[in-house]
């Protein structure tokens, strides 16, 4: 490795860059602790990976974040490979209006909350894409759905792998995965948009005493392409009697330009809602 003498001019260039650094250009998640650790929120031009085992609440947290972002006046495109437009809207209204599973039996107060939530959801700042979840559809954007988006949420990576490969090819091949990851990263930079990708992880963490996911549990190369990697974990899923059953952890295990840490959120199971965690 060559040793280079650092001259004064180089040092001054770095200092000037720090002084003249642009203000945060992105969207806040709506969770104070998470935004702080991410340097302000989800920054445009970057790819964020949120992974976890099934039933941890990845879609629920993504829906919460989407609602917080559109409420702040930004455009969100939610690309879902599982939920229909109707299903996603229903989940969002239920979560944001704090509705329990009492289908059709709502109080007057709940009805008011539903209408308030609908006011934000009905704005043009929320776009739901429930067509085929392929990387090509998003990057070409022939429909114009993704134009001027501030945040794109992809739910979820493994389904995108299936829809993005040619018939007969291995959807989970390293080549297919890397093409998707490279395309998403390029799209985020060229279109100045933040991309939040949800991903499942394998069962390897189930065999450990501590079930919290690690980077080594990811089978896909997106962790190399993502600017930030986060794992969502709830101890209450494994132990319903746990003292922390109502607490969720967002473990930031990779952050190219910031801190790695664990951010706690409150989890309201009956509403599928996450709240900023308050120490008790």
pLDDT at 219: 75
Q: pLDDT tens digit string along 269-278?
A: 888 999 998 6
Q: pLDDT tens digit string along 201-233?
A: 888 888 888 889 988 888 767 788 899 999 999
Percent above pLDDT 90 for the chain: 43
Q: Is 82 an active-site residue?
A: yes
Kindly report the pTM of this predicted structure.
0.87
Q: pLDDT tens digit string along 254-273?
A: 999 888 999 999 999 888 99
Q: Rounded CA gap, 162 and 167, in Å? A: 9
Q: pLDDT tens digit string along 114-136?
A: 998 888 787 778 999 888 888 88
Cross-strand bridge partners of residue 151: 76, 194
Task: Please identify which residue in the block is written with the tokens 């003249």.
Answer: 20
Pairing mode, strands 273-276 and 261-268: antiparallel
The mean per-residue pLDDT over the stretch 35-60 comes to: 94
pLDDT at 1: 45
pLDDT at 172: 64
pLDDT at 29: 97
Between 3.90.1170.50, 3.50.50.60, 3.40.50.300, 3.60.10.10, what CATH number should domain 25-276 receive? 3.40.50.300
Active-site option among 23, 43, 82, 108: 82
Domain ranges of the chain: 25-276
Cross-strand bridge partners of residue 132: none
Q: Rounded CA gap, 280 and 9, in Å? A: 51
Burial (CB count within 10 angstroms: exposed 0-12, middle 13-18, buried 19+), residue 162: middle
């Amino acid at each position: 490795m060559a040793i280079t003498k650092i001259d004064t001019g180089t040092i001054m260039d770095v200092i000037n860059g720090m002084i003249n650094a642009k203000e945060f250009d992105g969207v806040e998640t709506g969770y104070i602790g998470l935004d702080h650790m991410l340097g302000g929120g989800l920054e445009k031009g970057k790819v964020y990976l949120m992974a976890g085992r099934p039933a941890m609440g990845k879609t629920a947290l993504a829906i919460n974040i989407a609602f917080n972002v559109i409420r702040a006046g930004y455009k969100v495109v939610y690309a879902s490979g599982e939920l229909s437009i109707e299903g996603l809207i229903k989940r969002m209204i239920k979560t944001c209006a704090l509705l329990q599973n009492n289908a059709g039996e709502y109080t007057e107060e709940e009805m008011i909350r539903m209408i308030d939530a609908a006011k934000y959801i009905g704005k043009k700042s929320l776009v739901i894409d429930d067509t085929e979840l392929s990387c090509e559809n998003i990057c070409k954007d022939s429909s114009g759905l993704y134009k001027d988006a501030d945040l794109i949420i992809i739910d979820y990576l493994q389904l995108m792998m299936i829809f993005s490969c040619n018939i007969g090819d291995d959807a989970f091949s390293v080549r297919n995965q890397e093409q998707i990851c490279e395309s998403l990263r390029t799209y985020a930079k060229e279109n100045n948009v933040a991309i939040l990708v949800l991903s499942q992880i394998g069962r390897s963490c189930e065999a450990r005493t501590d079930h919290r996911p690690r980077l080594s549990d990811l089978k896909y190369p997106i962790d190399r392409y993502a600017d930030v990697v986060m794992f969502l974990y709830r101890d209450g899923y494994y132990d319903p009697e746990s003292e922390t059953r109502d607490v969720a952890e967002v473990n930031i295990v990779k952050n190219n330009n910031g801190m790695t840490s664990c951010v706690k959120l409150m989890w309201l199971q009956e509403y599928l809602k996450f709240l900023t965690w308050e120490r008790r």
